Structures are given as structure tokens and as C-alpha cells.
Copies of this chain bind each other. A is one copy, B any other.
Amino acid sequence: MNTEDFRKHAHELVDWMADYFENVEDYPVLPDIQPGDIFKQLPTEAPTSAESFDDIFKDFKDIIMPGITHWESPNFMAYFPANKSKASVLAEMLMSTLGSQCMIWLTSPAAAELEESVMNWVRDMLGLPKTFTGVIQDTASTATLCAILTARERATQFSVNEKGFEQQKFTVYASAEIHSSIEKAVKIAGIGAAQFRPIRVDENFAMLADQLEKTIEQDISQGFIPLCVVSAIGTTSTTAIDPIAAVSKICLKHKIWHHVDAAYSGTALVLPEMRWMSEGVETADSFVFNPHKWMFTNFDCTAYYVKDPVSLVNTFTITPDYLKTSVDHEVKNYRDWGIPLGRRFRALKLWFVIREMGVEGIQNTLRKHITLGKWLATEVIKHPDFELMAPVPLNTVCFRFTKGPEDQLDQLNEQIMNNINKSGKLFFTQTKLYDQFTLRLCFGNTNLEAYHVENAWQLIQDTAAALKQE
């Protein structure tokens, strides 16, 4: 493809992209397809000869688009949003054009220095301590793995890296409501899931600090070495807020690495009125949140902060001859700050988004989302046929339909969810609270307005009422 062909096709794509943004609500949020429906339309072999871009783009529209779940739609209220914004998409266009490979300073100096700068901006926007140093990672799963590995190495003076496990029996702690990536990291690091200690939670689904301390002391008495506590600002099911200050105190006392997982909810710390969530974070060792979830920045973009970057770098550093440069002593070579060697120019999109929205613009949108969460929580509480299943500190609402015999409620609620998701009008997901099937809606889409939430609530009530009559 020559440059003029590219120019022509890229302009065509821009119009399609803008139209998509304009009309995204016309698509069913969840596509009405069965496993294999897309696969069977695709040829089993790669084409020998070049195909025209018009044909490729046509297939994209005809074959791929009918199988897309529309994360861009404001009626997408499932999971956590993979939030983004138009400024972020514009940045991705430039990123892909430059194709910068940001493994070391020399391979993209502007990217390294913009990353350092923007990570400082974000740290200050969230009110994190000035002693924290940031680096962009791909996902919170990877960042949490980095935290646990750094904790492992700091605790053993880097001897697991060098000699492998000997007799160490480490333990890792987190609330029973913590994200599954913590246990995954515990496995990868060679610690073993049996040494992962899920700590009981209170009625708000927040970790019980006294249970944590009791478990730690029990482990110590049995010869375990408590390695790391992962506390959550916003768990995945209900966005519960663990008591960061109390956990920090326990970790300081026992010299345990304290990693704060704020993957989704961390963005809300941009709001001064939400800073109560992070009280005590000053003494934590590491903190992660995903601008690609609720800070309007395309996936992937995870912000990982550490108090002791030297330990992080020493955990991962490699310097083969072919990667040495003359400025290694005076620059940040981010290849040593995580697992992959290659890195995209992700700082650019975060820079575009923050500048295009301004801190106030981000704050206003977050406040709108949180207000909508509170509104639905109030509606649910008021409604005789529904029950709120968890507190709503932010914009994620967990509730269930309760009109019916208790032993049929799981099935009824699942039916409500499936019927609605199949309609294409709305997509939300479930969780389990008190071992009960729970509807879960999250309001974090960039384009979300009050009427989307009102419509969703109406649709849920209508669907439940219709099922009740059957």
C-alpha cells in the first residue's frame, strides 16, 4: 500500500469511526451470535495474493462487526468499563504511526520522558505521596505480579532470583473479595496457592484488619514468612474499600510489603472528597490503578507506583551487550521496570486525555458517574421487589430481585439478566454475594448520561415484572 492509498483509506476509516461513535447505541450491546458463527465465515487458509483494502474493510464490517460486544456503548454496564475517549483514540492513531518501541530511553527518548512526567501528574492528581515513582504497565495483573516478585526478592536479598527457592515458606494475604489476579500472581511467583490467605470481610465486604493480623501472627508462629498484603481500594464484585491505614500499620509492624490494588476505583481519588479511601497509603510499598478502566484512556494503560524503584529495577534488570547505551546511568530504561522487554508509547494517550479533559473535566465526569450509582442504589432500596446487596461507595450497584420463593431467586435473577442481555438493549453481568446470584451494574462509560441509567433500571423492573407474571 503506498502513501496515497493509505491516506485515502485512513480518511474513509475516520468517517466510519466518527459514525460509529455517533451511532453506537444503534448496535445491540451484546451481539446475538453463537460460538463458531464468526469462525465459520473465515477462510481456513491465508490468501496467497494480496487482497484489496476495500475487500478487507468490507469483511470487517460484514463479518467482524456483527460479532462485536460494544464496550463503547453507554448501555454497556458489565464488568468494569474499558473506558476510553476520543482524545485517546487520536493518540492511538499517532502511536501506531510512529510505532515507537519504548524499551529503553535511546529507542524513544520522548516517550521515556513523557512517561516520567505524566506519571508524576497522575500521582499528584490522585493525591499519592510525592515519594512514589510511577511506571506504565500493561495490566493490573502484571503490576501485581511485579509487586509480589519485588516483595519476594527484597525479603530474600534477591536470593530467589539468584538461587531459586530454598526453604522459604512465604504467605500472601488479601481480602476474600480480592481480584483473582492476586492468586494467579502467587502461583506464578512459585509461592503456591496454599500459602494465599483470603481474609474474612465485614458487612461492607471490606477486609477485617483484626482477622488479617490474627492470621499473620498465626502464620509466623507456624514458621511462615508473611511476604505481602494486597489491600483493595474497590474490590471487583462490589468496589468495597479495605481499611488501608489499618493494613498499613500491620504491614509496617511486621515488615510486610503492602500493595494497594485500586485497579478500577483508583481513578476516583482524583476527587478530593473520595480521598478517605486511600488514607494510610503513604506507608504502602506499591499502588496500582488502571487509567484504561475509568480514566478515559484506551486499554492498555496501567499506572503502577512504587516507593522503592531500586528494588523493582533490581528484580527485573537485565543488561546484555546489545542493549547497553552510553546514557544508561542518567536515564530511565523502563524495560527493567516490568516483565515484557518491548513497550508501546502509552504515555502519549494518557497525556492527550488529561489535557483534553483537564483535571476538572475528569472530576466532573467521575462525579456524574458516582451520582448515578447512588441514584440507582436509592431506587433499589425504595423498591419493594428488589434488594440492595452491597453498599455503593462509588458507581457499581449490586442488587437482586426478591419477589419469589428464596430457592428460585438465583434462577429468576439469572433469567432477568439473560433476557435483557439477549435483547441487545443493555449488557450487564452478575456476581455472587452471600452465595446468591446478584445483578451488578457499573456506570463508568465516557458517554453515559442519566437517561441511560434510568432506562436500564426501567428495563430491569419491566423484565422482572414480566417474569413474575409468567
Contact = CB atoms under 8 A, between A and B. Distances in A.
B110 A67 contact: yes
A386 interface: no
Given A6-B90, A300-B344, 8 more contacts: A1-B87, A3-B86, A7-B15, A46-B125, A50-B356, A53-B90, A69-B109, A92-B96
Contacts of A357: 50
B48 A113 contact: no
A321 B92 contact: no
Interface in A428-458: 429-432, 440
A86 B359 CA distance: 35
Contacts of A97: 17, 20-21, 72, 89
Copies in the complex: 2
Interface residues of A, number: 155
A161 B15 CA distance: 49
A205 B95 CA distance: 36
A370 interface: no
**Interface SS majority for chain A:** helix
A165 interface: yes
A341 B14 CA distance: 30
A84 B357 CA distance: 31
A48 B96 contact: no
9 contacts: A6-B86, A9-B90, A56-B356, A71-B101, A79-B101, A82-B100, A92-B93, A163-B193, A321-B431
Contacts of A322: 79, 236-237, 429-431, 440
A334 interface: no
Given A46-B125, A322-B79, A340-B138, A331 B35 contact: yes
